[in-house]
Amino acid sequence: MWSWDVAIEVMPLLLRGLWVTLQAVFWGMLLALVLGLAWALLRRSPRRVIAWPVRALVEFVRSTPLLVQLYFLYYFVLPAIGMRAEPLVTGVVALGIHFSAYTSEVYRAGIEAVPVGQWEASQTLNLTGWQTYRHVVLPQAIPPVVPALGNYLIAMFKETPLLSAITVVEMLQRALNFGSVHFRYLEPLTLVGALFLIVSLLSGILIRTVERRFLSPAR
Amino acid sequence: MNQTLSLLLQGLWNTVLLTAAAAVVAAACALLAGMGRISRDPIVRAVSALYVELFRGTSALVQLFWFYFALPILLGVSLPAFVAGVLVLGLNIGSYGAEVVRGAILAVPRSQHEAASALGFTRRQRMRYVVLPQAARAILPPAGNLLIELLKATALVSMITITDLTYAADRVREHTMQTGLVYGVTLLLYFTLALVITGGVRFLERRVSVGLRQDGVH
């Protein structure tokens, strides 16, 4: 049954995997935040040839499995454009694109919540479209949605084990490798679950703290 | 070519089956745990909360491997891959659904509970005939989103060798080497299934809103 010796032996391996996971989440989230904002702004474009394809793309990415998107990128897109398919980079790109579909919806909600008067005032002040977004709309639209974005950070973290499918040696992959060598699956897999739980709960607490900061009436 | 197509279709069918079976498990878990979290019994509340936190706090793929590889060591019996898949997907999505159910029940106005009590309804009747039918309207839209999350999550079972759409696509890719085409078609098939789900949920939303005015009052 459960053996603490095995647990202690496998722990350093898993922690190294956790470090890979955290790196993937960091870069993936950065990409998702930037791309998501780009989608959110583009789909508000008055030109339909821009707005419509972006909406379709977001809808498509959001409705299809990340795993298949990973395979598609890893086995097809990256080789086709002549890039060597580096697993971790592919994983980061896939996570970033997949979650940008979600973050774009979050940004959209934030932008739509900015009162019409703010737009009108910007127009009166002769601000260009870009200036309006940069100095008036986005500074009001983004702070309220930070907690929602944070939730997607946790969601992304929980999707990282999928990267093992394209041979990224993150936590799950390390646990499975250990399992296949020593034929002990109980301890490594349970510990991976426990590590996920701990990091998720801690990040949840962190996000609620940030939430109080951003949503405090003092601002 | 024919073989390829039949393999993909078989995978598609298994994905539909998995989604449907796991949706039933998820709905049951969501209702039980959602009501459990606002139960009067502290033990029921604690068990429901533990379930929700455990399954929402960890990764679906880790849960799948745990149920498939680790649980059999603890229990001494191994689960068939399909059963493990349905169980884990159902429990996972159910834990998110539980929060939806809880929120929807709490959003039913207090006066509705009081009116039901005044009419002499028992707690069970109050839940069954007054609260849940009203909560259903608030549950449906997020449930539709969860159903799409579930559909997407079924792709994970390809990693414990169930021949779902993703697994079939992987096999076809190995045979044909038409990587872009195979995964492109697969993504489109998933997207089509998602559209069907969205359409179905919209239909249901209209059904449960029959007899309501725009402002949502009977």
Does A178 score more than 80 pLDDT? yes
Q: What whole-number percentage of chain B has pLDDT above 70? A: 96
| Inter-chain CB proximity B73 and A176 less than 8 Å | no
Residue A203 neighbours by CB distance under 10 Å: 17
Does B63 score more than 80 pLDDT? yes
* Closest among A192, A177, A185, A160 to A20, alpha carbons compared: A160
DSSP state of B131: I
CB contact at 8 A, B140 and B205: yes
Does A183 score more than 90 pLDDT? no
Provide the pLDDT for residue A66: 96
Instruction: Provide the Cα torsion A132, A134, A136, A138; round to 10°.
Output: 120
Label residue A116 by pLDDT band (50, 70, 90).
Answer: very high
Provide the pLDDT for residue B214: 55
A-B CB pairs within 8 A amount to: 108
- Give the residue-averaged pLDDT of A154-180: 92
Provide the pLDDT for residue A219: 44
- Disruptive mutation site among A189, A190, A205 for chain B (greatest number of B CBs within 10 Å): A189
Q: Which of A60, A159, A176 sits opposite B191 (nearest CB)?
A: A60
The mean predicted confidence, pLDDT, of chain B is 91
Provide the pLDDT for residue A189: 94
| Entry pTM | 0.90
If you average pLDDT over each of A80-94, A167-181, B202-216, which comes out highest?
A167-181
- Residue A113, token pair as written in the block: 């919540």
Query: Cα dist. B153→B47, B79, B90 in Å?
Result: 25, 19, 10
Q: List the end-to-end C-alpha distance of chain B, in Å, as a whole number.
A: 56
| Inter-chain CB proximity A158 and B59 less than 8 Å | yes
Provide the pLDDT for residue A16: 92
pLDDT tens-digit readout, B22-36: 999 999 999 999 999
pLDDT tens-digit readout, B93-113: 999 999 999 999 999 999 998
Q: What whole-number percentage of chain B has pLDDT above 90? A: 72
Pick the residue from chain A with its C-alpha nearest to B61: A161
* Closest among B54, B82, B57 to B68, alpha carbons compared: B82
Pick the residue from chain A with its C-alpha nearest to B152: A65
Q: Which residues of A7-18 are buried (b: 16+ CB within 10 A; e: fewer)?
A: beebeebbeebb
- Give the residue-averaged pLDDT of B1-6: 80
Please tell me the distance in Å from B189's CA to the nearest CA on chain A. Answer: 9
| Inter-chain CB proximity B62 and A201 less than 8 Å | no
Does B44 score more than 80 pLDDT? yes
Residue with tokens 């993909």: B8
Query: Cα dist. B164→B27, B191, B196 in Å?
Result: 22, 15, 18
Residue B94 neighbours by CB distance under 10 Å: 27
* Nearest-angstrom CA–CA distance, B72 and A139: 53
- Give the residue-averaged pLDDT of B120-141: 90
Does B215 score more than 70 pLDDT? no
Q: Establish whether this prediction's ipTM goes over 0.90.
A: no
Does B144 score more than 70 pLDDT? yes
Q: Which of B63, B69, B148 sits opposite A63 (nearest CB)?
A: B148
CB contact at 8 A, A94 and A69: yes
All residues of chain B having their beta carbon less than 8 Å from the beta carbon of residue A165 are 159
Pick the residue from chain B with its C-alpha nearest to A202: B57
- Give the residue-averaged pLDDT of A144-159: 91
CB contact at 8 A, B85 and B18: yes
With a CB cutoff of 8 Å and minimum separation 6, the contacts of B95 are: B29, B30, B33, B51, B52, B54, B55, B56
* Nearest-angstrom CA–CA distance, B36 and A146: 30
| Inter-chain CB proximity A165 and B180 less than 8 Å | no
| Inter-chain CB proximity B191 and A64 less than 8 Å | yes
| Inter-chain CB proximity B62 and A189 less than 8 Å | yes
Q: Which of B62, B73, B148 sits opposite A193 (nearest CB)?
A: B62
If you average pLDDT over each of A178-187, A188-197, B204-213, which comes out highest?
A188-197
With a CB cutoff of 8 Å and minimum separation 6, the contacts of B122 are: none
* Nearest-angstrom CA–CA distance, A182 and A192: 16
Between B13 and B174, where is the model more confident? B13
